[in-house]
Structure 1
């Protein structure tokens, strides 16, 4: 358990508040993914790989109500993983969770593969297209054949006005959430400079190239979209 749960709880509260402003259907997203996993995995025991586990929102959304699932969460932020660890301890299923500080390359070598995986709100922080593909290939190689995979990322064509229009919709979420208008203008400029946007067709192409099939967009809100697919 973390040494300073009050501090980490405050960090988590800020992070999660902002996540729910940025993605108003944040909690519904996790519920949708859980429903899909349950249909695909049935009642069997299953191992899930969570790329970008962060503060443990996937874990706290899926862990308590799925007692036969085990989780391996990976994240490069040690501080965020401390929050995730605190959450799973508080919820009482820490024996089913392994948290790894680092990237997918830091996973222990093993002959066994995962039954499902997620990569939610991570891909748009990777700028290089080859690095994006490498991550998706690495995830696919960690999965059993036919295993479900969920990807959620910012998307869009920077040269298309459609993305600019969606950025304005995203801006309205923040204004409604209490941010000053001038602050949101600056934030949008920062997001456009920092986040790596790819058109939907290119993201689907990367998934296919990485070895995923049955690629289907199931989710869209603001500047984010989500795809469900399966490892070959």
Structure 2
């Protein structure tokens, strides 16, 4: 699956029910967002943050509530998901600091300028083609100022042959969140066809090739691994 193939996987009904579907995993998301905010805390007082694959806006709302002077651009290919994100921003009183772009990061116009930070949470593993995934991260880097920070979290292959032991725990988490046995089986099929879980070193090499320096693995939650890295200076 390429980046362009991910358009509109969420219709209006799915977008409206998305947050409720994963409510049982709120503690996990809260942990991810707390660590995200700590990584990005060094950003400028009036930072501009690019949220790629923003979905219903969970990380955007978490950051906007903690950093009251930051501004955000939420990017997602699903218009219904971004509409939920917009409504949540309004409900939380942060909509005046948010803009919304339906499409991919590669579609964000140059007129938007550069950003101080970018987030990509549980997005890039859906881009199975490695060249497309490299292009995705390059597109983000090109929209960051030199030294700007990218935070990316993705499903990754467990190290040292531990995948077979860890996957059943991951599937138990899916059942805990309310997935039926049939849905769990469907997830396994989807993982085989539509998800690319790279080993840690391959993921870090990809970020370096995309133009980031010092990828730093700062968190693991079962199959989810999170890195931050800094955009290197680009040369014409």
Q: Same fold (TM over 0.5)?
A: yes
Contact 2:51–2:120 (CA under 8 A) maintained in structure 1: yes
Using a 3 Å threshold, how does the CA distance of structure 1 residues 119 and 31 change in structure 2: closer, same or farther?
same
**Matched position secondary structure for 1:68:** coil
Query: For this pair of structures, how many residues does the alignment match?
Result: 222
Structure 2 residue aligned with 1:98? 99
- Does the alignment pair 1:222 with 2:222? yes
Partner of 2:147: 146
Kindly provide the CA deviation profile for residues 153-184 of structure 1, in whole angstroms up to 9, marking residues without a partner as x. Answer: 111179x8522322111011123334444542
Residue from 19, 40, 43 that aligns with 1:41: 43
Contact 1:72–1:100, Cα closer than 8 Å, also in 2: yes
The answer (yes or no) to whether the contact 1:19–1:26 under 8 Å persists in 2 is: no
For the residue of structure 2 that corresponds to 1:191, the secondary structure is helix
| CA distance in structure 2 between the partners assigned to 1:18 and 1:194 by the alignment | 21
Instruction: Compute the TM-score of the two structures, normalised by the length of structure 1.
Output: 0.86
In 2: Cα distance, 1:164 partner to 1:23 partner: 26
TM-score, structure 2 length as denominator?
Answer: 0.85
Counterparts of residues 101-180 of structure 1 (less than 5 Å): 101-110=102-111, 112-156=113-157, 161-180=161-180
Q: Give secondary structure in 2 for the equivalent of 1:147.
A: strand
Q: Answer yes or no: is 1:202 the counterpart of 2:205.
A: no
Alpha-carbon separation, structure 1, partners of 2:181 and 2:216: 35
More displaced 10-residue stretch of structure 1: 213-222 or 170-179: 170-179
Structure 1, unaligned stretches of length 5 or more?
1-7
For 2:162, what is the secondary structure of its paired residue? Answer: helix
Where has structure 1 moved over 6 Å in runs of 4 or more?
Answer: none
1:136/1:70 Cα in 2 relative to 1: closer, same or farther (>3 Å)? Answer: same
Secondary structure of 1:127's aligned partner: coil
CA distance in 1, matches of 2:67, 2:153: 22
Report the aligned-residue RMSD. 2.4
Give structure 2 stretches of 5+ with no counterpart. Answer: 1-11
CA 1:137–1:90 in 2, change beyond 3 Å: closer, same or farther?
same
- CA contact under 8 A between 1:72 and 1:99: conserved in structure 2? yes
